[in-house]
């Protein structure tokens, strides 16, 4: 938040602990990103897949890499007791940034028979966090000894139709205490501009989400299965052309990177002309492209 408050244009990255007990790849990915981003999100059971604890991964990766983490915490799997417990634990472990999420329904994940919780939603989770930080109490007013200190952010989806409903929902989250917003992936610069303009009334820093795609298969899956997001057809066509080419594996990887640079470098440069606070780059497992993308956006 220090860089955002200083009105610097910032970048954040994203890390995803999967169904494993080994965090080596995440730690190495964080080290690669360390000098390019101000922080990295650690996802919490995305799409309701049962993955390693985001809290454990946030603490371990932050400690081992030196890069500040943004601990994602979702309400899908926890009631208010469990949420409060995890938040107290995060405070003890030195986590200072939390992204409060409602979370996907469990039916979307790899354990669809699991019972969803949703005791709170993301706005109420924001309110809980602010009470812990500002009042030193939980939701019921019970005192907390040595209350934690966090910055709390929320997610927004500029792809929603009608957009005004999403704007009002974000306004509710900001009233509850949200200090920054990271958006779902946006591919159209005009959509980003419209969203930023509509959100000016709330004066809350916005990081626009982008998603460099490592292969055509990743892009096609994202386009088909991620709710509310569609990859532009011409971008899918360009990525498919790489897939169908006779290039060897190494050359294809380079060509995929070039397609992403051609699309996202001008996109980021246009965002730099708006009132966006920065860009959230969701390049899970492809941290090296984040560094190159930022360098090219600055003309380096």
* pLDDT tens profile 77-102: 999 999 999 999 999 999 999 999 99
- In DSSP notation, 133-172 reads IIISB-TT--B-SS----EEEEEE-TT-SSHHHHHHHHHH
Residue 195 has what pLDDT? 97
pLDDT at residue 2 above 90? no
pLDDT at residue 227 above 80? no
pLDDT at residue 228 above 90? no
In which band, very low, low, confident or very high, does the pLDDT at 282 lie, cut at 50, 70 and 90?
Answer: very high
Mean pLDDT to the nearest integer, 119-142:
97
pLDDT at residue 105 above 90? yes
Mean pLDDT to the nearest integer, 162-180:
96
Mean pLDDT to the nearest integer, 33-56:
96
Mean pLDDT to the nearest integer, 204-208:
97
Average pLDDT, the chain: 95
Residue 65 has what pLDDT? 98
Residue 284 has what pLDDT? 87
In which band, very low, low, confident or very high, does the pLDDT at 8 lie, cut at 50, 70 and 90?
Answer: confident
Residue 5 has what pLDDT? 76
Mean pLDDT to the nearest integer, 281-286:
91
Residue 207 has what pLDDT? 98
Q: Among 63-77, 111-125, 184-198, 222-236, whose mean pLDDT is lowest?
A: 222-236
List Cβ neighbours of 223 (8 Å cut-off, separation of 6 or more).
229, 230, 231, 236
The candidate with the shortest Cα–Cα distance to 146, out of 158, 137, 157, is 137
Rg (C-alpha) for the chain, rounded Å, is 19
**Alpha carbons 10 and 180: distance in angstroms, whole number:** 12
Mean pLDDT to the nearest integer, 53-63:
98
Residue 300 has what pLDDT? 72
The candidate with the shortest Cα–Cα distance to 162, out of 99, 92, 228, is 228
Mean pLDDT to the nearest integer, 163-188:
96
Mean pLDDT to the nearest integer, 172-201:
96
Q: For the stretch 237-275, what's the b/e string if a residue is b when 16 or more beta carbons lie within 10 angstroms of its beta carbon?
A: ebbeebeeeeeeeeebbebbbebbbebbbebbeebeebe
Mean pLDDT to the nearest integer, 32-36:
95
Residue 6 has what pLDDT? 75
Mean pLDDT to the nearest integer, 282-289:
91
DSSP assigned state of 132: I
pTM of the predicted model as reported, rounded to 2 decimal places = 0.94
Q: What domains does the chain contain, in order, with CATH numbers?
A: 2-297 (3.20.20.220)
Mean pLDDT to the nearest integer, 180-206:
96
């Amino acid at each position: 938040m220090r860089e955002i408050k200083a009105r610097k244009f910032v970048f954040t990255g994203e890390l995803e602990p999967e169904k494993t007990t080994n965090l080596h790849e995440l730690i190495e990915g964080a080290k690669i990103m360390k000098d390019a981003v101000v922080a990295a999100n650690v996802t919490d059971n995305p799409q309701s897949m049962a993955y390693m604890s985001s809290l454990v991964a946030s603490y371990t990766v932050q400690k081992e890499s030196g890069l500040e983490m943004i601990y994602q915490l979702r309400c899908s799997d926890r009631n208010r007791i469990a949420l409060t417990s995890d938040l107290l634990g995060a405070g003890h472990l030195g986590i200072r940034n939390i992204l409060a999420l409602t979370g996907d329904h469990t039916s979307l994940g790899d354990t669809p028979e699991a019972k969803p919780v949703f005791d709170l939603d993301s706005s109420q989770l924001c309110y809980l966090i602010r009470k812990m930080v500002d009042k030193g109490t939980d939701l019921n007013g019970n005192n907390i000894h040595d209350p934690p200190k966090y910055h709390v952010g929320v997610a927004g989806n500029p792809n929603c139709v009608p957009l005004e409903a999403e704007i009002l929902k974000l306004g509710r989250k900001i009233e509850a205490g949200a200090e920054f917003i990271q958006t779902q992936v946006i591919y159209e610069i005009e959509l980003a501009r419209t969203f930023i303009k509509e959100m000016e009334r709330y004066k809350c820093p916005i990081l626009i989400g982008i998603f460099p795609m490592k292969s055509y298969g990743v892009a096609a899956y994202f386009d088909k299965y991620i709710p509310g997001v569609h990859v532009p057809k011409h971008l899918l066509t360009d990525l498919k052309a790489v897939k169908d080419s006779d290039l060897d594996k190494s050359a294809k990887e380079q060509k995929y990177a070039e397609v992403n640079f051609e699309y996202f470098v001008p996109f980021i440069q246009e965002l730099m002309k708006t009132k966006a606070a920065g860009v959230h780059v969701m390049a899970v497992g492809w941290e090296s492209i984040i560094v190159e993308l930022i360098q090219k956006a600055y003309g380096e």
